[in-house]
Amino acid sequence: MLRVDSHGYTAAVLDKIVTSGGNSKSFQSAHHMVEKQAEVSVSAMQIARLTHEIGRELVQCRDQQAELHRFRQLPVDANQPPVQIACIEADGARTMTRASHQGRGVHDKSWKEPKVGVLWRMTGQTFESDPHPELPGCFQDQQYVEQLVRELKSGGGSASPAEVPTAADARAAVPAEMRAAEPAVETAVNDTRGGEIAAAASLGTAAEAAVAAPEAGAAAARSADSAALKPPVQWPPRRVFRTCVATLRDVHGFGPLLAAEAQRRGFYQASQKVFLGDGQTANWTVHRLYFPDFVPVTDFPHVVPYVYEPARAVTADRPSAWRRCQEWLTLCWQGRVVEVMAALQAWQAAHPVPPGVRLTSLPENHPQRVVAGAVTYLEHNQSRMDYPRYRCLGLPVTSALVESLIKQFNWRMKGTEKYWNRSEEPAISPRTGRPIRGRVVVDPPEMSVESMLQVRAALLSDDDRLSKHIRARPGCPFVRRSTQRRRAA
Amino acid sequence: MDAVTKVQRQQLVETVMGWGQALAERAYGPQGPGLDVDLAAMEDVAVEMQRALLKGFCEKATRQQAARLPAHQPCPTCSAECHPAPPARIEASGPPGEAGRPIQTRGGPFQLQEPQYYCPACRRAFFPSALGAARGQSRLHSGRVGQDCD
């Protein structure tokens, strides 16, 4: 049968419209794109309506899948190939929202953090010994490290909300050297030379770092020399296939969605399983509840500020501080976090907080407060910082892939004067009057953030799920009366 | 014919290519286009013909498909057997039991003349040609998203 709905577009045209709505910076620009590329005249508002309609359907499908998984009724998709390395990374994006059903204009605006998870099927090899014990060249580049620290720390700083960069923004600032440890984001999925390119990038950056940063020059040159003598080891796993999940719900709503997607793709049956995140507690809550048998790994670049800042705080001059930072970063890279913590704790013992003074009352950049913060972070994460073991297992050690994915989400979702309707509010318990964890009241307005996130997630997944969904829609046997009246007129 | 096979499709493509050559001759004469006609102008004419081809093809195919529908159709809401809608029930002009509406395709719009049935119990008309799903199924896709994905 024809499977046409009340809108009067074929599935292929609808696919073009929604793809354009999800991939353009605005619906207005999507309107121009559709008119130019597809030669279909459709208004910006109509593109918005159609995009959100499809988004709402995708939300419904996603929730059905999660519900099936909740009752252990979701089978592994029979068409899924066996997974060698199942890599799940989770992080948060940023988007500006407003209250829905409030009429025109912006009401009750607030920043929200959609949770984004990416599921990568990877391939790789294991090693008997650490394939890359040296600190990567980028972390030997003082300029790079300082910029990384500045950007990661400014994420929670005092910048105005519109200027607050996410960790993703920070990560993308200088990603070149990250490719030494991670497959290049820009590398084609099937590019078998990913490892070689990564290794070449590593050598190139190390040599450039020697020129750019005189302090790190000797170390970088040594690293480049030693790497030039040995054939490059392709230890980072190679990315094969990705799908992603995004929601504005809290971790208790996000976890089941991620778990259902992992189940469908057969990630729980993978030979090796890894879950990466930054130090945020929410990520590890998802890991603990839904992926307990996945190897948890703390993203290495997020550790850098917690080493760099205390090194600066406890050392008098800058060159010595940089040398100490290098020493501690190397220890962390080599999995000897305990030694860094011991050094920091020894400093704390030698410089106790004066009696009667509370740590929190000290300025944020006070050495004792900086060191205490670093010790706490390292204590919480040390069990997830055994990087040599992860490299031996052929697992990734950074969450760069989800960070770059978040940039792709933010590109569409975030912008000047761009607000999305909050589609779901936490369900309030009638007994306690408090929000119920993981439960939401679905309120499907137009332009909702949840539906837009689904369209974006579908477009950023490798499985072409948006087109498949649109082509599988059953159609609508009824035509709106307004359409009939307009046609008759 | 239920579905066009790959071989049939290839044969159809060759036929249409022959039509294209014949149309070029008809458009520009046996000598072909003058030296002042650029490629963009030729493309414009060809695209216009392509759109006309698609319009004719879809209108004919959908009309023929509609003619194969049985005389009675179950109502999508109450599943009662329904007859084609009487002309009085159809607001748009067209043959009895049919209503037309424009459908936008990749190659431009065409007029879909679809059979319209009327359920007296629900007091509502419906279009069985859109029924891709089983009775009672919502218009939303209920299958899992992303299957056959990797």
Name the domain count of chain B: 1
Q: What is the pLDDT of residue A446?
A: 64
Of the listed ranges A114-123, A218-227, A455-464, B98-107, the one predicted with least confidence: A218-227
Instruction: Tell which wins on pLDDT, A101 or A184.
Output: A101
Is the pLDDT assigned to residue A207 strictly greater than 50? no
Nearest CB to A474 within list B62, B141, B149: B141
Is the pLDDT assigned to residue A36 strictly greater than 60? yes
Is B33 within the bounds of a domain? Answer: no
Q: Does A480 touch chain B (CB under 8 A)?
A: no
Give strand pairing partners of B143.
none
Model confidence band, residue A23 (pLDDT cutoffs 50, 70, 90): very high
Is B121 within the bounds of a domain? Answer: yes
Nearest CB to A3 within list B112, B132, B150: B132
Q: What is the pLDDT of residue B142?
A: 36
Instruction: Tell which wins on pLDDT, A369 or A192.
Output: A369
Is B67 within the bounds of a domain? Answer: yes
Model confidence band, residue B87 (pLDDT cutoffs 50, 70, 90): low
Is B7 within the bounds of a domain? Answer: no
Q: Tell me: the pLDDT tens digits for A442-455?
A: 555 567 889 999 99
Yes or no, beta carbons of B103 and A10 under 8 Å apart: yes
Model confidence band, residue B70 (pLDDT cutoffs 50, 70, 90): confident
Is B66 within the bounds of a domain? Answer: yes
Yes or no, beta carbons of A477 and B128 under 8 Å apart: yes
Q: What is the pLDDT of residue A297?
A: 96
Q: Tell me: the pLDDT tens digits for A234-243?
A: 789 999 999 9
Instruction: Tell which wins on pLDDT, A30 or A106.
Output: A30
Instruction: Tell which wins on pLDDT, A416 or A191.
Output: A416
Q: Does A456 touch chain B (CB under 8 A)?
A: no
Instruction: Assess: ipTM above 0.90.
Output: no
Is B27 within the bounds of a domain? Answer: no
Q: Does A133 touch chain B (CB under 8 A)?
A: no
High-pLDDT (> 90) share of chain A, %:
57
Q: What rounded mean pLDDT belongs to chain A? A: 81
Q: What is the pLDDT of residue B131?
A: 59
Yes or no, beta carbons of B148 and A57 under 8 Å apart: no
Q: What is the pLDDT of residue A473?
A: 87
Is B12 within the bounds of a domain? Answer: no
Q: Does A16 touch chain B (CB under 8 A)?
A: yes
Contacts of A1 in chain B (CB under 8 A): 128-132
Model confidence band, residue A480 (pLDDT cutoffs 50, 70, 90): low
Give the pLDDT mean for B113-139.
70
Q: Tell me: the pLDDT tens digits for A254-277?
A: 999 999 999 999 999 999 999 999
Q: Tell me: the pLDDT tens digits for B3-54?
A: 889 999 999 999 999 999 999 999 999 999 999 999 999 999 999 999 999 9
Is B76 within the bounds of a domain? Answer: yes
Q: What is the pLDDT of residue A100?
A: 78
Domain residues for the domain of B122 are 38-130
Q: What is the pLDDT of residue A482?
A: 53
Give the pLDDT mean for A423-430.
61
